[in-house]
Amino acid sequence: MNMPSGSKPLPRQSALALGGVAILFALVYLFMPEHLGGLAPLVKALPIWILAGLAFMAKGVPLHRHLALALALSGFGDLFLSLSFANNFAAGMGAFLLAQLAYISNFWSRRRPMTKVAVMEKILLAAVMVWVIGMGYWVVPKAGSIAPALVVYFSALTLMVLLSVLSTAPRIAVAGALLFLLSDSLIGLDRFVTPLPERHLAVMSSYYLAQALLFWGLKQKKV
């Protein structure tokens, strides 16, 4: 893929430095959220926005803008969910829904025909569907008025995960998609079914790792 004239990729050293900053912010939010005060929502979103910036500057990567958009929208979802305002959960879920659509467009461009999908991958597809149906049976009846929105969001998330398995993207990106499903499932269980022990660490560690693996896998140049 040819880059526009005068366009230069971000130097490797700068990219590594920014990646280190993203990891630092993520660790601070994971292990010291109580010390952040009013800055906590911003610190939560910054690691994802840094990845979005790195994706946007990866100009030799196909659909790098789609990847950057998915990450940027995810960052806004993080921010909205951490702020206290009317309908903040709906706003956060809406931002994440748009992020899933951006991820879907990326995996869709890398899709493979079913004839080229291995048996173990088909088993994984079936396992994902069993997991999602089970989560829907368990969580949706307890979601109240936002149940329809929850169904729409998890449908998009499920499609993203299924397309990741069916794509030519590196397996590290598939692992990221699966971790995204796990993280959001934990949120659903914690919010609508029963409070989970160590909820913050479990949800955010799986989420940050999911986004990092999706970023690393989808920034590969091969489509």
133 falls in which pLDDT band (50, 70, 90)? very high
The total number of structural domains that make up the chain: 1
Residue 187 lies in a domain: yes
Average pLDDT over residues 128-155: 94
Residue 59 lies in a domain: yes
pLDDT of 34 > 90? The answer is: no
Whether residue 103 contacts residue 87, with contact meaning beta carbons closer than 8 Å, is answered with: no
94-128 per-position pLDDT tens digit: 999 999 999 999 999 999 988 899 999 999 999 99
Residue 7 lies in a domain: no
Please tell me the predicted confidence (pLDDT) of residue 7.
52
Range of the domain at 191: 12-218
Residue 5 lies in a domain: no
In whole angstroms, how large is the CA radius of gyration of the chain? 18
1 falls in which pLDDT band (50, 70, 90)? very low
Residue 77 lies in a domain: yes
176-213 per-position pLDDT tens digit: 999 999 999 999 999 999 998 888 999 999 999 999 99
pLDDT of 4 > 50? The answer is: no
Residue 175 lies in a domain: yes
Residue 108 lies in a domain: yes
For the chain, the DSSP string reads: -PPPTT--PPPHHHHHHHHHHHHHHHHHHHH-GGG-GGGHHHHHHHHHHHHHHHHHT-TTSTTHHHHHHHHHHHHHHHHHHHS-STTHHHHHHHHHHHHHHHHHHHHHTTB--GGG--HHHHHHHHHHHHHHHHHHHHHGGGSGGGHHHHHHHHHHHHHHHHHHHTBSS-HHHHHHHHHHHHHHHHHHIIIII-PPTTHHHHHHHHHHHHHHHHHHHHTSS--
Residue 1 lies in a domain: no
The larger pLDDT score, comparing residue 75 to residue 37, is at 75
What is the model's pTM? 0.91
User: Locate tokens 């910036």: which residue?
Assistant: 53
